[in-house]
Amino acid sequence: DIQMTQSPASLSASLEEIVTITCQASQDIGNWLAWYQQKPGKSPQLLIYGATSLADGVPSRFSGSRSGTQYSLKISRLQVEDPGIYYCLQGYSAPWTFGGGTKLELK
Amino acid sequence: QVQLKESGPGLMQPSETLSLTCTVSGFSLTSNGVGWVRQPLGKGLVWMGTIWAGGSTNYNSAVQSRLSISRDTSKSQVFLKMNSLQPEDTGTYYCARWDYDGTLDYWGQGVMVTVSS
């Protein structure tokens, strides 16, 4: 099984700050990586697919990148609506696996 | 537009069989796969299984012996059945559409299932 190690588990950041969340895959998954945002009581919302492509309607302050088997989600200027829990998902092979999540809070 | 909606009982007893329905609209089950994802209360997301556009299925080995996913394409419905429920099966169950980029792109609102005696 492919393990997705996500870090940090939690972070607190200020408005307008740059935030970066990473997922490390245990093996090569190419660009088969997606990022989701989940707010309390809501279902996950797709932010990034194909490691770097922005999903429809997602603000351009969100971006995804890849370096080998490490994947990053960057929020360029944190906004008041951005706190929540962020997850990565590898879509390369079964069993499809999520990262453990990153809880993002406003400082 | 693409929509998915889960339905099913909220409270189950241990050893019972859970039956959930995912009703979809805005796309065809013969064009996209649908996956089920579980989220225990306060915890992360776990993929449980998928039924693909061609009708084949994949299951998470942790629940494979207890889980069955099927569909009725004429009704645009996907079904999850899981037997021998235990309290640790408690959580929110989501269905979501697989798109062609290997991503779960649209999700239902989720249905909370509690397994308790």
pLDDT digits (tens, 9 = 90+) for A26-58: 999 999 999 999 999 999 999 999 999 999 999
Q: Is A92 on the interface with B (CB under 8 A)?
A: yes
A30-55 burial: b if 16+ Cβ within 10 Å, else e: ebbbbbbbbeeeebbbbbbbbbeebb
The answer to whether the CB atoms of B46 and A98 lie below 8 A apart is yes
Give A102's pLDDT tier (boundaries 50, 70, 90).
very high
Mean pLDDT of B59-71: 97
Mean pLDDT of B57-79: 97
Give B101's pLDDT tier (boundaries 50, 70, 90).
confident
pLDDT at B100 exceeding the cut of 90:
no
User: Residue B37's pLDDT is what?
Assistant: 98
pLDDT at B63 exceeding the cut of 90:
yes
The answer to whether the CB atoms of B104 and A89 lie below 8 A apart is yes
Alpha-carbon distance values, A48 to A34, A51, A71, A93, B107 (Å):
5, 6, 11, 18, 15
Position B12: which residue type?
M
CB-nearest to A46 from B45, B103, B110 is B103
**Matching residue, tokens 């991503």:** B103
